[in-house]
Amino acid sequence: MSKVEKFEDLKVWQDGIDLSIHVYQSLGTCRDFSLKDQMCRAAVSVPSNIAEGFERHSNKEFIRFLRIAKGSSGELRTQIYIAKGTGLITEEKGTELINKSRHLSAMIQNLIKTRETNF
């Protein structure tokens, strides 16, 4: 495992960016601007909070922002269920995004546990 020197080195941040991009691409033609905006904001919030917490250079602050990122992941997942249920995104795309969000949330939780026990 290579040393993490900047937030861009974090796999969890990279996966957060990937999820955000997938959300934007999935909603490209969505005409429900309110839900689209909410989903995009929640998706962007995940890697943004990981980055902000990392840049604080405080373990306590990093953990706090990781928890916020995890909350945003749950918020996004809820919105994906709504988008899928209302037909704004396909069942297949919705399931893919939900799985990515669950995986990302688990990664964030694991990082929180690691930071709580090792620092």
45 lies in some domain: yes
Q: In this structure, what CATH number is given to the domain that contains residue 57?
A: 1.20.1440.60
3 lies in some domain: no
List alpha helices for the chain, DSSP H.
11-26, 33-55, 59-85, 91-118
5 lies in some domain: no
What pLDDT shows up at residue 1? 53
Q: Which residue has the tokens 């040393």?
A: 3
4 lies in some domain: no
The C-alpha torsion from 86 through 16 and 119 to 52, rounded to 10°, is -100
Q: How far is CA 7 from the centre of its chain?
A: 14
Write out pLDDT tens, residues 12-51.
Answer: 999 999 999 999 999 999 999 999 999 999 999 999 999 9
What pLDDT shows up at residue 26? 96
Q: Which residue has the tokens 């396909």?
A: 90
Please check the confidence at residue 119 and state whether its pLDDT lies above 90: no
Which domain, by its residues, includes 94?
Answer: 10-17+32-118
Please check the confidence at residue 3 and state whether its pLDDT lies above 90: no
40 lies in some domain: yes
Q: Which residue has the tokens 């601007």?
A: 33
Residues for the chain: how many in total? Answer: 119
- Domains: count for the chain: 1
Write out pLDDT tens, residues 54-109.
Answer: 999 999 999 999 999 999 999 999 999 999 999 999 999 999 999 999 999 999 99
